[in-house]
Structures are given as C-alpha cells and as structure tokens.
Amino acid sequence: MRSMTGYGRGSADAPEHNVRIEVEITSVNRKTLDAQVSCPREWNGLDQQCNAWLKGAFQRGRVNIQIKVESTEGAQTGLSWSAKKMDASLQQLESYAESRSLPFVVDSHLLLELAKTQKDDGGLPDWRELEPSIKTAFDQALVDIDAMRLNEGNALAQDLKERMQELDTIRQQIASNAENTVASYRDALMARLAQLKLELDINDERVLKEVAIFADRSDISEELTRLNSHFEQFKEFIDAKEATGRKMDFLCQEIHREFNTTGSKSSPIEITRSVIEGKNALERIREQVQNVE
C-alpha cells in the first residue's frame, strides 16, 4: 500500500555544461492523476518527457515536478544575460527618452529589471543535451518519494487493519443484540395487549401473524452477512500489491449503506447505538482511505 502524499528529491551534475540538475517531486491526494511540471521556460517539450518518465510510478494523485538548473561555477545559469543586448536596449531606451524629452537615468534598479527581460537565450543548453543528467536526477527523486509513500502506506495499512477490527467487533455486537429482537417484541406486544385488557393467547393466529411480520421487517441477517463480506474484501485490499484506494473508497460507501439499512430495520436501542458507533468508526476509515493510492 502506498500513500498519495510524499516528497522526493534528486540531483545530478552535467560537468560538460558546468551545471547541476535538481528535481523535486511532491504529491498529494486526488481522485485522478494530475501531473504538473515546472522547468525553465526555454526547455519546451521537457514536460512531455517527464510525463512519460512518470508513467507507472503513480496511479492517481496530484503530482508536482519542479526542475531547477544551477551553475556549478557559482552563478545561476538561468540569470545570465547578454551584455551586447543590454547595451543595445539601453541605447534604444535613451533614444526613446530623448525623442520624448524625458529624463533618462541609468541606476541599479533599471539594470536589474532590464537584465531580467534580456536574459540570454543561449544561457541554457538544450535540455536534450542534458537529458541523461535530468533523467538521473528524476529517477533519484522518484525513488525518494516512493520510499516515503511506502513508509506512510505501511502506517496507513496497520491503522486501517485496527479500525476494521473495531468495525467487525461492532458488527458482532449488533448480531448478538439482534438474536433476541423478535422474542423481545413478542413479549412487549403481549404486555401491551394485557394493559389494554385484551386477553389473547400467545398462539393466537393474529398474534403470530403480527410477530411474523415484525420478524420479517426487522431481519438484518442479510445486512450482517454483507457487512462481513465487505470487511473481508477490505482486508484483502489492504494487503494487495496493486493500488486499491478507489476500491476501498467504494467499499466504504457500501458499508455505510448497510449500516443505514441495519439502523432503519432495528428498533432496540443497543443496535441503534452500535450503528451510530459503526458509522463514526467508518468515517475515520474513510478519511484515511482518501490518502491511499
């Protein structure tokens, strides 16, 4: 079992270009797979390649991939600029200011803003030239985030097993309290008839018919059987090798449905309390399932 929440980081040097590639991958829960890639804007097409590398590593979740490039010579490669372009731009700005009779002062703020807009397109090599280094850093980040997702998945699996055991205990309590439901109803019916001074024999056809109708209407044996089946399936999903988060989420809906039906059919207060307790426990399970891939 893997959690959908994780963080991974990888890096690799490309000495022939004097740069270092850093890749960070983060993921959070989401019903479908949604991957977003952030990389230098000069590297068109790298996002598609990253999606191809990502294939198979995630079944669902929101995955954010951030790729950074750093100069190993002490400067940020992405912030380099062309001095010639800077000079040409300053001359153009000065000429424009003179033509409009505007004062033109070159200061550090203007130079910084101009440097940001005049970044040298040749400052970064084509990403395909760095692809082996990018792939190495990407794979390291994938291994890192997968280890984190597995560790959290193991913790989730243990927690879910304990919570499912709690649900099964509640199911057994409901089954135990349901055994005497019909007998209790029959005794209560006879007591009410006696209070109304209607002396009917317990074997009277009308009494037997009323008790039979109640027994049929309040029978929850099918619901308890389905609950047991759902619990067994859920436990199998916990130990499954493939991603089962969606299946677990579906089972939570079905378990909630069975608890609702059980509560509506049953009148004893003990069963009602158990149903409420079961729904509360199920809600805690559902919250955990939202993080399971």
What's 59's DSSP letter? Answer: S
Q: How confident is the model at residue 71 (pLDDT cuts 50, 70, 90)?
A: confident
Confidence check: pLDDT of 74 > 60: no
Range scoring the smallest mean pLDDT among 13-17, 61-65, 179-183? 179-183
Global pTM reads 0.70
Predicted confidence at residue 120, as pLDDT, reads: 46
